[in-house]
Structure 1
Amino acid sequence: MNVDLFDFDLPTDRIALRPAAPRDAARMLVLDGDATRDAGVADLPGLLRRGDLLVFNDTRVIPAQLDGRRGDAKIGATLHKREGPRRWRAFVRNARRLRDGDVIDFGNGVSAAAVDREEDGSYALDFAGDEPVELLLERAGHMPLPPYIAGKRPTDERDAADYQTMFAAEPGAVAAPTAALHFTPALMAALAAAGIGHATLTLHVGAGTFLPVKATDTADHRMHAEWGRIDAATADRLNAVRTAGGRVIAVGTTSLRLIESATDADGVIRPFDGDTSIFITPGYRFRGIDGLMSNFHLPRSTLFMLVSALMGRERMQAAYAHAIAKGYRFYSYGDASLLLP
């Protein structure tokens, strides 16, 4: 499909620079079948059914943004996928100043050799020393806010908490599963009281989620692989919910993509442990999920293509036009949508 079909006019002041406070005070646009209504995240227990199950991504964002030097050249790196105990694949700024094997000094006793350059311009970074890389990143790295936010203000101490979900447990993501940022212990208690369950899986979100689609046709766009895991007990629980007539509602596109990657042609969700580069566009037949809670995405993005596949492109174009007209806040720190086909 032509990527232009997924374009729309988004005023820059609609991109939220801070999250709502409290988190569950965010607004939520509900598309339920053919109906559309304005609501709030706190209304969620009354919008779902007893027996439904929400699925959260429990990945934890690491301080994956690094600024360093190679000689007199400033070099920036955004880690996006772990390739070994001490090796991370990274998108590099000012990469033209690097040669294979060059060592980048990130300060605070942290350095890495840049090797194995790929066609997309990324390098593998081999971190020096014996300390766990996680400790090195705590010393030298900072929170990798999306460029649409970081370009408007610097990262600060608030982001260290604001950009983690309450479910964050498994370190490895370089971007937050942002739909889950709206949840609080109070909201989870209200959902449980309404008979709505929850489960977790792990997908380590990569920086590729921020990359623009440069191709003119969706068939020519390459997704970067991300590692995920659904254990056998979780797969069994999700299948049991659907067998009993409940709905599996993915919280975030990351949860959705992993569930769909793990679901076979008969609609059975299988245990999963490995990489996925699934790219969902209109025409895709959903097999493992029955709905999605998601933030509002950017024009021409793979994520807007995904929600268009779930609800229909024209429906989502109209819904986003409504959201823009009504002042909804977009992207990582913005408001939410509940999409129930």
Structure 2
Amino acid sequence: MKVDLFDFELPSERIALRPARPRDAAKLLVAEGAAPFADRKVRDLPQILRKGDVLVFNDTRVIPAQLEGRRGEAKIGATLHKRVDLRRWQAFVRNAKRLRPGDTIDFGEGVSAVAEARHGDGSFTLAFAGDEPVEALLERAGTMPLPPYIAGKRGTDAADRSDYQTMFAREDGAVAAPTAALHFTPALIEALDRAGIGRETLTLHVGAGTFLPVKADDTADHAMHAEWGRIDAETADRLNAARQAGGRTIAVGTTSLRLLESAAGGDGLIRPIEGDTAIFITPGYRFKAIDGLMTNFHLPKSTLFMLVSALMGLERMQAAYSHAIAHDYRFYSYGDSSLLIP
């Protein structure tokens, strides 16, 4: 499909620079089947969902993966993208023309890394020096990797350390937040529990590739960056049992959805999975594992807008986004949310 089909105009003032407070006060656009759109709040979920439904959250934790350093006199920026091993990460590099394999980048605070190899997409493998865990080095020298559409309008500050982290964050490794889950609070979880709505967690370490624009003219020519994920056998069994009992599987975020779909067979059953996935979902895809999706509003011509269009239909999503813009919804990572049930 032509990538231009997924374009739309978004007024810049609709881009949220801070999250709603409290988090569950964010707006929720409900699109269910062909029914009229409903304007609700995230805190209304216990009344919207059914007893027996299961929400599936991503428990990845965002690390301070944005680094600023120097190679000699040259300023070098690095955004860690994907772990290679205990000391090596693949990273997107700013001012990469000033960096060659074998060069050392000094990131300050006693943190340095050698640029080992340049990859075809322009990224580098960085090998961090010393014996300290890389996570400890990042806590000292790194900052939270806010999306470009936020970082370009304001600096990262102390509030982002907590704002850009979900309440489920447990497994270190993401360089972008699974933003749909940013809206959840302990009070909302208690209300969902009382309503008989289940919850499960999986892990998908979101990579910086989620921010990259689609440069191809046709979706067939776009290559997704791989991300590491895991669903254990016990979680897969519980999800399958809940669905067979009539409950709906609602992915909280496109990251949860992509891993669930990667783990599902043609029979709709979810199998345990551990490893990389580069699944790219566009219109025409047949969903196997999920019955709905809770997700924020995405960028034009992005792989994520393609995904929601695959779930609901392109015309339906174009109408939903037009509704959201007209009704003052806030967009992107710190913005409002939607509940999409085909």
With the shorter chain as reference, the TM-score category is: over 0.9
Q: Which residue of 2 aligns with 1:234?
A: 235
Cα distance in 1 between the residues matched to 2:271 and 2:75: 46
Alignment of 1:175-214 (within 5 A): 175-214=176-215
Cα distance in 1 between the residues matched to 2:129 and 2:43: 47
Cα distance in 2 between the residues matched to 1:11 and 1:57: 30
Q: 1:270 aligns to what SS in structure 2?
A: coil
Q: Match of 1:316, as an amino acid?
A: M
Q: Which residue of 1 aligns with 2:130?
A: 129
Displacement of 1:134 in angstroms is 0.6
Q: Which residue of 1 aligns with 2:275?
A: 274
- Which blocks of at least 5 consecutive residues in structure 1 are unaligned? none
Q: Match of 2:329, as an amino acid?
A: Y
Alignment of 1:94-243 (within 5 A): 94-243=95-244
Q: Which residue of 2 aligns with 1:30?
A: 30
Displacement of 1:177 in angstroms is 0.2
- Per-residue CA distance 1:268-304 (angstroms, 9 max, x = gap): 1000000000000000000000000000001000000
The number of aligned residues is: 341
- Per-residue CA distance 1:111-161 (angstroms, 9 max, x = gap): 000122111100000000111101110111010000000000000000000
Q: Which runs of 4+ in 1 moved over 6 A?
A: none
Q: Which residue of 1 aligns with 2:17?
A: 17
Q: 2:250 aligns to what SS in structure 1?
A: strand
Displacement of 1:33 in angstroms is 1.1
Q: Which residue of 2 aligns with 1:53?
A: 54
Q: Match of 1:67, as an amino acid?
A: E
Q: Which residue of 2 aligns with 1:285?
A: 286
Q: 2:86 aligns to what SS in structure 1?
A: coil
- Per-residue CA distance 1:67-114 (angstroms, 9 max, x = gap): 000000000000010001100000000000011110000001100001
Cα RMSD, aligned residues only: 0.4
Cα distance in 1 between the residues matched to 2:158 and 2:330: 22
Cα distance in 1 between the residues matched to 2:281 and 2:10: 22
Cα distance in 2 between the residues matched to 1:7 and 1:135: 41
Question: Is the counterpart of residue 316 in structure 1 residue 336 in structure 2?
Answer: no
Cα distance in 1 between the residues matched to 2:100 and 2:65: 22
Q: 2:340 aligns to what SS in structure 1?
A: strand
Q: Match of 1:119, as an amino acid?
A: G
Q: Which residue of 2 aligns with 1:63?
A: 64
Cα distance in 1 between the residues matched to 2:296 and 2:129: 38
Q: Which residue of 2 aligns with 1:335?
A: 336
Q: Match of 1:19, as an amino acid?
A: P
Q: Which residue of 2 aligns with 1:300?
A: 301
- Per-residue CA distance 1:203-254 (angstroms, 9 max, x = gap): 0000000000000000111100000000000000100011001000000000
Q: 1:116 aligns to what SS in structure 2?
A: strand
Q: 2:89 aligns to what SS in structure 1?
A: strand
Q: Which residue of 1 aligns with 2:73?
A: 72
Cα distance in 2 between the residues matched to 1:130 and 1:208: 28
Cα distance in 2 between the residues matched to 1:50 and 1:85: 43
Q: 1:314 aligns to what SS in structure 2?
A: helix
- Per-residue CA distance 1:23-51 (angstroms, 9 max, x = gap): 00000000011111111101111111000
Cα distance in 2 between the residues matched to 1:172 and 1:201: 13
Cα distance in 1 between the residues matched to 2:217 and 2:48: 38
Cα distance in 2 between the residues matched to 1:85 and 1:56: 26
- Which blocks of at least 5 consecutive residues in structure 2 are unaligned? none
Cα distance in 1 between the residues matched to 2:251 and 2:301: 22
Question: Is the counterpart of residue 249 in structure 1 residue 268 in structure 2?
Answer: no
Cα distance in 2 between the residues matched to 1:34 and 1:240: 28
Cα distance in 2 between the residues matched to 1:17 and 1:296: 14
Cα distance in 1 between the residues matched to 2:249 and 2:50: 11
Q: Match of 2:308, as an amino acid?
A: V
Cα distance in 2 between the residues matched to 1:41 and 1:47: 10
TM-score by length of 2: 0.99
